[in-house]
Amino acid sequence: MEKIFLKGNDAMAEAAIRAGCRFFAGYPITPQNEIPEYLSKRLPEVNGVFIQGESEIASISMVYGVASTGIRSMTSSSGPGLCLKTEGINFLVAAEIPAVIIDVMRAGPAIGGIQPAQQDYTFITGGAGPGGVRCFVLAPYTVQEAVDLVYEAFDIADKFRNPVIVMVDGAIGNMMENIILPELRELDTLPQHEDWKITKRDADGKARIIQTYIHSVIGLEEANKRMAEKYKIWEDYEQRYEAIMLEDAEIVVTAYGIVARMAKAAVKELRKEGIKVGMIRPIAIYPFPKKAFDSLDYGRVKQIWDIELSIPSQMFRDVDYTVRGRAPVYQLLRSGGMMTSKESIIKAIREKALEGENYE
Q: Please tell me the distance from the alpha carbon of residue 333 to that of residue 259, in angstroms, as a whole number.
A: 10
Say what the pLDDT of residue 198 is.
Answer: 87
Number of other CB atoms surrounding residue 268 within 10 Å: 14
Residue partners of 191: CB distance under 8 A and separation at least 6: 70, 158
360 lies in some domain: no
Identify whether residues 204 and 61 lie together within a single domain.
Answer: yes
358 lies in some domain: no
Per-residue pLDDT band at 211 (split at 50, 70, 90):
low
Identify whether residues 194 and 290 lie together within a single domain.
Answer: no
Say what the pLDDT of residue 214 is.
Answer: 67
Identify whether residues 179 and 291 lie together within a single domain.
Answer: no
pTM confidence score: 0.95
Least confident of 186-195, 205-214, 276-285, 290-299: 205-214
Say what the pLDDT of residue 65 is.
Answer: 94
359 lies in some domain: no
pLDDT in tens, 313-358: 999 999 999 999 999 999 999 999 999 999 999 999 999 876 654 4
122 with 314: CB under 8 angstroms? yes
Cα–Cα distances in angstroms (integers) from residue 284 to residues 38, 86, 233, 238, 247, in the given order: 26, 20, 14, 8, 22
Identify whether residues 335 and 297 lie together within a single domain.
Answer: yes
Identify whether residues 229 and 277 lie together within a single domain.
Answer: no
Q: How many domains does the chain have?
A: 2
Last residue of a domain, one of 237, 253, 288: 237
pLDDT in tens, 75-116: 999 999 999 999 999 999 999 999 999 999 999 999 999 999
pLDDT in tens, 156-205: 999 999 999 999 999 999 999 999 999 999 999 999 998 888 876 766 77
Say what the pLDDT of residue 354 is.
Answer: 67
Q: Please tell me the distance from the alpha carbon of residue 301 to that of residue 304, in angstroms, as a whole number.
A: 8
108 lies in some domain: yes
Say what the pLDDT of residue 266 is.
Answer: 98
Q: Please tell me the distance from the alpha carbon of residue 249 to that of residue 353, in angstroms, as a whole number.
A: 12
Cα–Cα distances in angstroms (integers) from residue 181 to residues 21, 142, 256, 272, 299, in the given order: 15, 13, 22, 35, 43
Q: What average pLDDT does this structure show over 118-146?
A: 94
Nearest alpha-carbon partner for 283 in 260, 263, 264, 266? 260
- CATH code, domain carrying 269: 3.40.50.920
Q: What are residue 329's phi and psi, to 5 degrees?
A: -115, 120
Per-residue pLDDT band at 248 (split at 50, 70, 90):
very high
Q: Residues 320, 324, 325, 330: what is their CA dihedral angle, to the nearest 10 degrees?
A: -10
**Domain encompassing residue 77:** 3-237
152 lies in some domain: yes
Identify whether residues 108 and 233 lie together within a single domain.
Answer: yes
Last residue of a domain, one of 237, 267, 284: 237
Number of other CB atoms surrounding residue 80 within 10 Å: 16
150 lies in some domain: yes
